[in-house]
């Protein structure tokens, strides 16, 4: 499904890299798990990193990221949530044509507090399952006091765009004779060996082995 960009989400720079397709956007959102939330307080922009979850066309973040934001939250707060995956350094022959391979999503909208306890619990589960599938059911679930101490914000994924760059460098024709190495250095986030804490007595469960974000195709 494709979405029509608004003047606010239409990609201005390098428009050939723009993606307005919801499925492609969801793929990026599902591979990443940290977003950067932008909001305004007293005319000053703030950008805070936090984790998130997705449930259909809604993005959820929880309040640990949002304290400064929540103080300014009345009936919702205009936000920009940006998600970025860096896939590689693109080394051209000219400095000017150096680039990166990346996939990023920008979502604009109004974030609102989730009041309904059932939606709140479902949202927290969505965030948990987004970061680490199966973990929710293998943890001690939130109690009422903990739920009260946690704020959850919802942002409908309605106004969005993505930017994607893939592939080798593109040099000006006259630069191809310049004697330097040119190509891509791929970058990927990998997990290391899990480190149990001092009081952990359990074997490492299957769902924690070879943690990876990329969907194996």
Characterize the bridge pairing of strands 53-55 and 34-41: unpaired
| CB nearer a copy of itself, residue 1 or residue 42 | 42
Residues 127-146 that bind a copy of itself (CB under 8 A): 128, 131-132, 135-136, 138-143, 146
Number of residues that bind a copy of itself (CB under 8 A): 90
User: Using the 8-state DSSP alphabet, how is residue 4 labeled?
Assistant: P
User: Is-contact 89 186, C-beta < 8 A?
Assistant: no
Q: Burial code of 123-134, b = ≥16 C-beta within 10 A, e = fewer?
A: bbbbbbbbbeee
200 binds a copy of itself (CB under 8 A): yes
Q: Is 99 helix (H, G, I), strand (E, B) or coil?
A: strand
User: Is-contact 53 34, C-beta < 8 A?
Assistant: no
| CB nearer a copy of itself, residue 2 or residue 139 | 139
184 binds a copy of itself (CB under 8 A): yes
User: Using the 8-state DSSP alphabet, how is residue 8 labeled?
Assistant: T
Residues 64-123 that bind a copy of itself (CB under 8 A): 64-65, 67-68, 78-82, 84, 86, 89, 91-96, 98, 100, 102, 104, 106, 108
Residues 161-180 that bind a copy of itself (CB under 8 A): 168-169, 175-176, 178-180
**Residue 189: both structure tokens together:** 């986030």
| CB nearer a copy of itself, residue 1 or residue 13 | 13
């Amino acid at each position: 499904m494709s979405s029509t960009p608004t003047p606010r989400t239409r990609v201005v720079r390098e428009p050939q890299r723009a993606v307005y397709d919801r499925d492609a956007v969801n793929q990026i959102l599902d591979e990443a798990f940290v977003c950067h939330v932008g909001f305004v307080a007293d005319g000053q922009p703030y950008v805070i990193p936090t984790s998130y979850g997705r449930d259909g066309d809604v993005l959820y973040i929880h309040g640990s990221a949002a304290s400064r934001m929540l103080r300014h939250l009345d009936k919702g707060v205009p936000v920009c949530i940006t998600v970025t995956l860096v896939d590689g350094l693109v080394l051209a022959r000219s400095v000017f044509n150096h680039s990166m391979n990346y996939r990023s999503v920008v979502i604009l909208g109004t974030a609102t507090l989730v009041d309904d306890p059932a939606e709140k619990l479902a949202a927290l589960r969505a965030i948990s399952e987004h970061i680490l599938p199966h973990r929710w059911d293998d943890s001690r679930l939130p109690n009422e006091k903990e739920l009260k101490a946690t704020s959850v914000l919802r942002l409908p994924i309605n106004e969005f765009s993505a930017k994607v760059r893939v592939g080798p460098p593109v040099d000006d024709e006259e630069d191809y004779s310049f004697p330097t190495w040119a190509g891509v250095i791929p970058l990927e986030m990998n997990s290391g060996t899990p480190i149990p804490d001092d009081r952990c007595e359990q074997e490492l469960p299957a769902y924690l082995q070879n943690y990876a974000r990329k969907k194996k195709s």
